Structure 1
């Protein structure tokens, strides 16, 4: 393959070798003057390169932020799974159906009568793990709610917050009839 464009033009006879030498000498002079005066050749190119580097750094920061957020979400899900697996109460041995709502759907979980009273009193909570529901003690459910409140489905507070202590005392003698349980 032939050399530079200048060599090709010289071989074709379209350019004069004296003119080529003069142009080369002038080009070297300009480069030398530019180096001495502190001017840079191709300042526009270098500015574009700096701009491209800044843009790449910004994109990298965004990607790292997204990766860190995803890693944090996975870590929180792993913590919640571990809390549920370590503290869930055994299921499948209950004979009382406990109805609760998950979003717009009404679900039923069979629990023992004692567990039903503890759920109503706020000592137990129902937590969603995937498509399963688990019973957990209230303190563990509170820890899960700190991490992801959407996972705690049923968590009654002890007593009705709308009632004063005097009203709660007055209502304590009245039991809710079984036919009103849903």
Structure 2
């Protein structure tokens, strides 16, 4: 019983030469087909690996850009804090004039003196919001802060003020009667 199964079947007369050759031919075809499929599978696998590598590179690049942007924003905020700390104008302990302004859609107020009010009106001082605190700094420092973060400096809505002034100028020539009751 030392031969292969097909040799044993052929010797026993259970299979003919034609059947043995057909089985060998089928086995060779399957072997070659398996090699072709394996090569195709290798190509598909290599393509999938390459696609995954490219996708990972894109994700890494996007994460790196986001990380760098966040780091730049933190550095800009640190520079703004440092500029404000070095150049802020001290608010008076007892201000006699209430200065009101808009911050994020809400009306806020600071108590200032007449000199600070004059400087704010002349735009030699600007109002800056840092760490949820409002500070006054010189206008040149305010411009440097605007370069780093435009939202940190609280600016007046001059367009709206000019529009209101223009509307009032239209009606300035009309006199309102003294006896008019509302």
**Separation in 2, partners of 1:111, 1:156:** 21
TM-score (norm 1): 0.62
Report the alpha carbon displacement of residue 146 of structure 1 after superposing the two structures with TM: 1.3
Aligned to 1:64: 64
- Alignment TM-score, normalising by the size of structure 2: 0.62
Q: Which runs of 5+ in 1 are unaligned?
A: 1-14, 163-182
| 1:179 alignment counterpart | none
Moved over 6 A (4+): none
Any residues of structure 2 matched to 1:157-176 within 5 Å, and which? none
Aligned to 1:118: 119
Q: Give the whole-Å Cα distance in 1 for the aligned partners of 2:128 and 2:85.
A: 11
Instruction: Check conservation: 1:124, 1:138, Cα contact below 8 A.
Output: yes
Q: CA deviation at 1:161?
A: 8.8
What's the CA shift string for 1:119-172, capped at 9, x where partnerless?
A: 000000110012210000000011111111111114699xx999xxxxxxxxxx
Q: Relative to 1, partners in 2 of residues 1:82 and 1:156: Cα closer, same or farther, differing over 3 Å? A: farther
| 1:45 has 2:49 as partner | no
Q: What are the Cα deviations for residues 72-130 of structure 1, in whole angstroms up to 9, with x where unaligned?
A: 11111111111111111112433322122223222211122111100000000110012
Q: Which residue of 1 aligns with 2:91?
A: 91
Distance 1:42 1:91 in 2: 74
Q: Tell me the SS of whatever aligns to 2:91.
A: coil
| RMSD between superposed Cα atoms in Å | 3.3
2:147 and 2:162 mapped to 1: Cα distance? 20
Match of 1:104 in 2: 105
How many residues are treated as equivalent by the alignment? 134
**SS at 1:89's partner residue?**
coil
